Amino acid sequence: MIKSTGLKKLRTAIFISGTGTNLKNLIKFSLSKKSPIKICLIVSNNPNAEGLKFSTKYKIKHKIFKYRSNNTDEKKALHHLNKNKINLICLAGYMKILSENFIKCFNGPILNIHPSLLPKYKGLNTHERVINNKEKYTGCTVHFVDSKLDSGKVVLQKKIKLFKNDTPSKLAKRVLKQEHILYPKAIMKLFANS
């Protein structure tokens, strides 16, 4: 596993599709001295993603790849990542599944955060399904990305208790708060010099 070397932080791209609260949180984390990452690029498949505002706010380059034709856009994305010497990708609310070819060709680890205790509740609408199934606990997971949905090796998880009056949106808020703690923790675990 690559580690940052004190002075040299890992050049990181964050992939988003929507609100970007994890993006904002990772940017703030990256600005701290102890952080092993430097966020050099924001990638979105959605030109209207709210999170793109953080590109302007924090003066970080962004690039839109709409993935209308997977092959061409993936090639363009890989080229761009290469050009920017990116060696870590963090998916943060990115709603596209990366192809096996993309994962193989990208020169470094790819991480994702998912709002459940994987391997349980892969995919969408996790909170609704968790509540409907009357689970006692849910959580969030940072994991490596492979070509199957939400299925790569787990890096870190946080368990969260459900309340009797939980609704999907109440639960989503509570889980998101924990995601913001978990993602930087997972990055520290993997890449910080001990």
Residues in touch with ligand GRF (CB under 6 A): 16, 18-23, 51, 92-93, 113-115, 176, 179
Nearer Cβ to ligand GRF (75/172)? 172
Other residues' Cβ atoms within 10 Å of the Cβ of residue 71: 10
Nearer Cβ to ligand GRF (51/184)? 51
Closest approach of ligand GRF to the CB of residue 64, in Å: 16
Give the list of residues 6+ apart from residue 104 with CB closer than 8 angstroms, or none. none
Distance from first CA to last CA of the chain, Å, rounded? Answer: 13
Nearer Cβ to ligand GRF (2/181)? 181
Which letter does DSSP use for residue 14 in this model?
A: E
Closest approach of ligand GRF to the CB of residue 7, in Å: 29
Q: Which residue is nearest to ligand GRF (CB)?
A: 93
Q: Give the active site residue among 62, 79, 114, 180.
A: 114
Q: Which of 45, 59, 49, 34 is nearest to 188 (CA)?
A: 34
**What is the DSSP secondary-structure string of 41-98?**
EEEES-TT-GGGHHHHHTT-EEEE---SSHHHHHHHHHHHHHHTT--EEEESS--SPP
Which letter does DSSP use for residue 75 in this model?
A: H
Closest approach of ligand GRF to the CB of residue 119, in Å: 15
Closest approach of ligand GRF to the CB of residue 126, in Å: 8
Nearer Cβ to ligand GRF (54/191)? 54
Our answer to whether residue 80 is catalytic in this structure is: no
Any idea which residues carry the catalytic annotation?
114
